[in-house]
Amino acid sequence: MTPDATAFADVTTADGYLLVLAVIVPVIGILLSIAFGGRYVERIALVLLVAGLAIAIAIFAAVVRDDQSLVYIVGNWHPPLGIALRADGVSAAMILTVAVIICATGVYARKEFGQPDAKVATRGSYAFWILLLAIWSGLNAIAVGADLFNLYVALELLTFAAVPLVCLKGYQETIKAALRYMLFALVGSILYLLGTALIYGAYGTLDISLLSTRVQPEPVAWIAAALMTTGLLAKTALFPLHLWLPPAHAGAPAPGSAILSALVVKGSFILIVRLWFDAMPGLLTFAAAQLLAVLGAGAILFGSVLALRQARLKLLIAYSTIAQIGYLFFIFPLASGDSASTPWTSIAWTGGWLQLFSHAFAKAAMFMAAGLIAESLGHDQISDLGGIGRALPVTIFAFGLAGLSLMGVPPSGGFVAKWMLLSATVMEGQWWWAVFMLVGGLLAGGYVFMVLGKALSMNAPLTLRGPIPQHRQVLVLAVALCAILLGLMPLQPSGLLMIGRPEMHTNVLE
Amino acid sequence: MTSATLFGYCGAVLVGLGLFGLITNPEILRKIVAFNVLGSGVFLLFGVIARRGAAAGLGADPVPQALVITGIVVAFSATAMAVALLVRFNKETGQVTMSSDDPSNAGK
């Protein structure tokens, strides 16, 4: 290995073991579930949800308290030979967001996948809890991974858990959707692996912080970056590689849709950011950043317009996810510009991440609300929603609050995020992205109000399949309120998201 | 031409063939096979990289070999899962391709 390996002083921090726990506690739950069988799987999952949430809060608190990254050197083998787990401010915020949404989804899913008498276990419910835990473990592993190959394995764990979630109901269409998702994921993963091979061949390490000083803007790095990014874009469902997303996210059961849309597509996005900002900062040129944002802009227009044309509520929400993912890619041109000394002190860095977190909460709330509506009506045709606002007032209120965040209307996390990104377009002099953001906001307003208008209209008396208990509606409202509460963030670069980031932008060109 | 270069070219050809098959074949099973051809090319490339590390004066570079074993396991699991989905899909629909797409019917 290279001689500078020993010079890299990275040691396990006091609370570093928490990162290991965050990854393995859900896996322990999976093993226990398999060992004890389907009857106990829900109870095991619920206990672990509480434990996992506690670990996530502990990680977040430790990062905020120490104002530095948590690090764990696995087996005390230092990079580049060993693997480091690192949680910076962004990772800590991601881990907490994931934990809150997974827990809320777990409580929400008890109606559909719970086993009240604990005597019989259906295959669907058995699989659901195991997949939920597997997705959690995969997302945490992505958040703390600091090695490109380790991240590859984490990404595969996430994909293998996400695909079966799509076809849990076993209908013909959902199996087709899962199969298409799987094919896109296969291409994505193998392209990423090919890029990893090239990087290892050229630079002899896969540790992200070591790579940041070694990667030079040369053909092999460009090819590797292009391959890895393309692979990850297929998994993130960025336009034009989004074809698998709408049938998959609309076909999954409601709690599954919430997890897939709110969290799973973000896993591969985090990797793209790690790749361009952390591993290969020298490669993030003006042209590369513009290209990524062009795709994002295409996603906003395409996703929003198609969302407006959907007849089914879940498909509308799925197309809205495609559009909202597009905003995330504005982080590349806007945070890498000259207006701040480093990308992380720029307003676009905070805005981009805030968009990710607020969309996660808003989209989870929306899919959960759509699930309650479908449960109550027996369908989710938008044209026949009339009067549901009277039957499920709290649910529709939650849907509206989540919609505010998607549109970017105050007070909401989505507003603060989009306002920051808009300010960044002005500061960077890249006004053209502002046009897409504003049009996207208008179109989002269009599809949210289309649903709300139908839901609040007074039609013929509804025939409801059964009452929805108040506590489930309040749960959805609570998730939507998280998206609103993020709107209380001050309108300035967040210190939390800068924790553990290098002071100066590493200049590999010298 | 050294053997490492030759194997490198072989890997590149396999990657190209696999990618071509994956994109152009409408039949799902062929796509899955093409994915495996592509995967073999990538694994071969890892082997070449291990060998090149050895050529640079190190006895041998074991890291790419460790990576490739993990990669093979992941690719194997992915293939197994894709084939299982395909078998179920074929049982339900009798089709071997995903043509006649209409995403608006998904998940009713």
Helices (H) and strands (E) in chain B, counts: 3, 0
Calculate mean pLDDT across residues A486-506.
73
From CA A460, how far away is CA A168, in angstroms rounded? 34
Q: Which two tokens stand for residue A242?
A: 């989004």
Asked whether the predicted pLDDT for residue A2 surpasses 50, the reply is no
Confidence of residue A457 (pLDDT cuts 50, 70, 90): confident
| A and B: number of Cβ contacts within 8 A | 118
pLDDT score of B108 = 37
Asked whether the predicted pLDDT for residue B104 surpasses 50, the reply is no
Residues forming beta bridges with residue A381, ordered by sequence position = A312
Per residue, the 3-state secondary structure of A368-409, as one string, reads: HHHHHHHHHHCCCEHHHCCCHHHHCHHHHHHHHHHHHHHHCC
- Which residues, 6+ apart, have CB-to-CB distance to A465 below 8 Å? A375, A376, A377, A378
pLDDT score of A304 = 92
- Which residues, 6+ apart, have CB-to-CB distance to A393 below 8 Å? none
Rounded to a whole number, what is the distance in Å from the CA of B66 to chain A's nearest CA?
Answer: 11
Angle (nearest 5°) at CA A121 between A119 and A123 = 170
Calculate mean pLDDT across residues A350-372.
92
Residue of B nearest to A176 (CA): B89
Interface contact B59, partner A, CB < 8 A: no
Run of H or E including A424:
helix A413-428
> pLDDT digit string (tens) for A3-37?
343 334 467 777 888 889 999 999 998 898 888 87
Contact B81 A160 (CB under 8 A): yes
pLDDT score of A412 = 87
pLDDT score of A428 = 83
Sign (positive or negative) of CA dihedral A126, A129, A131, A134: negative
> pLDDT digit string (tens) for A32-45?
888 887 778 888 88
Would you tell me which residues 10-29 of chain A have a C-beta closer than 8 angstroms to some C-beta of chain B? none
Please identify which residue in the block is written with the tokens 């900002």: A277
Mean pLDDT, all residues of chain A: 85
| A106 touches A28 (CB < 8 A) | no
Interface contact A201, partner B, CB < 8 A: yes
| Listed range (A172-176, A338-342, B8-12) with the worst mean pLDDT | A338-342
Rounded to a whole number, what is the distance in Å from the CA of B86 to chain A's nearest CA?
Answer: 7
> pLDDT digit string (tens) for A407-439?
888 888 888 889 889 888 888 888 888 899 999
Pairing of the two strands A70-73 and A84-87? antiparallel
**For chain B, how long is the longest CA-to-CA vector?**
61
Calculate mean pLDDT across residues A480-486.
89
From CA B83, how far away is CA B78, in angstroms rounded? 9
Run of H or E including A229:
helix A219-236
Write B96-104 long-range contacts (CB < 8 A, 24+).
B96/B27, B96/B28, B96/B29, B97/B26, B97/B27, B97/B28, B98/A176, B98/A179, B98/A180, B98/B26, B98/B28, B99/B26, B103/A177, B103/A246, B103/A247, B103/A250, B103/A315, B104/A310, B104/A311, B104/A312, B104/A315
Confidence of residue A117 (pLDDT cuts 50, 70, 90): low
Say how many residues make up chain B: 108
Calculate mean pLDDT across residues B21-49.
90
> pLDDT digit string (tens) for A380-409?
888 888 778 888 888 889 999 999 998 888
Cα→Cα distances B106→A249, A256, A449, B102, Å: 9, 15, 24, 8
Interface contact A247, partner B, CB < 8 A: yes
Chain B interface test: which of A151, A169, A176, A196 (most B C-beta within 10 Å): A176
Interface contact A194, partner B, CB < 8 A: yes
Interface contact B105, partner A, CB < 8 A: yes
Which has the closest alpha carbon to B15: B36, B31, B38? B38
- Which residues, 6+ apart, have CB-to-CB distance to A464 below 8 Å? A376, A377, A391
pLDDT score of A362 = 93
Residue of B nearest to A179 (CA): B85
ipTM: 0.89
> pLDDT digit string (tens) for A255-300?
999 999 999 999 999 999 999 988 888 888 888 888 899 999 999 9
Confidence of residue A115 (pLDDT cuts 50, 70, 90): low
Residues forming beta bridges with residue A87, ordered by sequence position = A70
Whether domain B3-93 has CATH 1.20.120.1200? no
Residue of A nearest to B85 (CA): A179
From CA A131, how far away is CA A129, in angstroms rounded? 5
From chain A, pick out residues whose CB is under 8 angstroms from the CB of B78.
156, 159-160, 182, 185-186, 189
Q: What is the dihedral of CA A490, A491, A497, A502, to 10 degrees?
A: -130
From CA A322, how far away is CA A299, in angstroms rounded? 6
Contact A176 B77 (CB under 8 A): no
Minimum-distance CB partner of A201 among B18, B52, B105: B52
> pLDDT digit string (tens) for A215-253?
888 888 899 999 999 999 999 989 888 888 988 888 888
**Percent of chain A, pLDDT > 90?**
34
Interface contact A179, partner B, CB < 8 A: yes
Say how many residues make up chain A: 510
Minimum-distance CB partner of B46 among A177, A197, A246: A197
Which has the closest alpha carbon to A414: A356, A369, A368? A356
**For chain A, how long is the longest CA-to-CA vector?**
77
Q: Which two tokens stand for residue A107?
A: 């409580």
From chain A, pick out residues whose CB is under 8 angstroms from the CB of B31.
183
Rounded to a whole number, what is the distance in Å from the CA of A174 to chain B's nearest CA?
Answer: 5
Give the global pTM: 0.90
Confidence of residue A206 (pLDDT cuts 50, 70, 90): confident
Calculate mean pLDDT across residues B64-88.
91
The better pLDDT of the pair A328, A428 is held by: A328
How is chain B split into domains, by residue range? 3-93
The better pLDDT of the pair A458, A94 is held by: A94
The better pLDDT of the pair A509, A200 is held by: A200
> pLDDT digit string (tens) for A38-69?
778 888 888 899 999 999 999 999 888 888 88
